[in-house]
Amino acid sequence: MDQRTMNIILIYIAYCEAANILYIVPFPSKSHDIFFRPIGLELAKRGHNVTVITSFDVPNPPKNYHKIVIERKELWDLIGTGRPNVFETIKLKTHEMINAILWQGGLPFTKHILNSSQVQEFLSKDNTFDLVISETFVQEAMYTLAYKYNAPLVLVSAFGNCMRHNIAVGNPLQLATVLHEFISVENPSSFIGRLENLYVSLYEYFWWRFWYLKEQESIARAFIKNLPPSMPSLYEMHQDASLFLINSHFSFDSPMALLPNIIEIGGLHATPEAESIPKDIEKILDESINGVLYINFGTNVKSSELPPEKKNAFLNVFNRLNITVLWKFEDDINTKMIPNVVVRKWFPQRKILAHPNIKLFFGHGGIMSTQEAIVFGVPIIGVPIYGDQYNNLLITEEAGFGKILNYYDINEVNVETAVNEMLYNASYMRKAKEISRRATISMKMDENKMKKD
Ligand SMILES: *[C@@H]1O[C@H](CO)[C@@H](O)[C@H](O)[C@H]1NC(C)=O
Ligand SMILES: *[C@@H]1O[C@H](CO)[C@@H](O)[C@H](O)[C@H]1NC(C)=O
Ligand SMILES: *[C@@H]1O[C@H](CO)[C@@H](O)[C@H](O)[C@H]1NC(C)=O
Ligand SMILES: *[C@@H]1O[C@H](CO)[C@@H](O)[C@H](O)[C@H]1NC(C)=O
Q: Whose CA is nearest to atom 7 of ligand 4?
A: 427
Kindly report the number of other CB atoms within 10 A of residue 146's CB atom: 24
Q: Which ligand is closest in space to the CA of residue 67?
A: 1
CB contact burial 45-59 (16+ within 10 A = b; e otherwise): eeebbbbbbbbbebe
49: β partners? 20
Ligand 4 interacting residues, C-beta cut-off 6 A: 425, 427
**pLDDT score of 128:** 97
What would the pLDDT profile of 387-432 be if each residue is shown by its tens digit? 889 999 999 999 999 999 999 999 999 999 999 999 999 999 999 9
Question: What pLDDT was estimated at residue 11?
Answer: 54
Sketch out the chain's domains with CATH numbers. 3-269 (3.40.50.2000), 273-441 (3.40.50.2000)
- What's the 427 CA to ligand 4 centre distance in angstroms? 7
Give the distance (Å) from ligand 4 centre to CA of residue 425: 6
**What's the DSSP call for residue 57?**
-
Protein residue closest via CA to atom 11 of ligand 4: 425
What distance in Å separates the CA atoms of residue 254 and residue 202, rounded to the nearest whole number?
A: 21
pLDDT, position 85: 77
For 84-141, strand residue ranges (E) read 131-135
Instruction: Tell me what pLDDT residue 383 has.
Output: 95
pLDDT at 82: 80
**Radius of gyration of the chain measured on its C-alpha atoms:** 23
For ligand 1, atom 7, name the residue with the nearest CA: 127
Q: Is there an atom of ligand 1 within 6 Å of 20 CB?
A: yes
Task: Tell me how far CA of residue 48 lies from CA of 43, 130, 131, 132, 397, in angstroms.
Answer: 6, 10, 11, 12, 41
pLDDT of residue 377: 97
Neighbours of 170 (CB within 10 A): 13
Asked if 69 and 39 count as a contact pair (C-beta separation under 8 A), the reply is no
pLDDT digits (tens, 9 = 90+) for 21-45: 999 999 999 999 999 999 999 999 9
**Cα angle 255, 31, 130; round to 5:** 80
Q: Work out which ligand 3 atom sits closest to the CA atom of 322.
A: 1
CA–CA separation, 217 and 141 (whole Å): 6
Q: Is there a contact between 367 and 29 (Cβ–Cβ < 8 Å)?
A: no
Q: What's the confidence (pLDDT) of residue 418?
A: 98
Instruction: Look up residue 363 and give its amino acid.
Output: G
pTM over 0.95: no
Distance 172 CA to ligand 2 centre (A): 41
Determine the atom of ligand 3 nearest the C-alpha atom of 420: 4
Neighbours of 12 (CB within 10 A): 10
Spell out, as residue ranges, where the chain has pLDDT lower than 70: 1-16, 452-453
How wide is the angle at C-alpha 187 spanned by C-alphas 183 and 191, nearest 5°?
Answer: 95
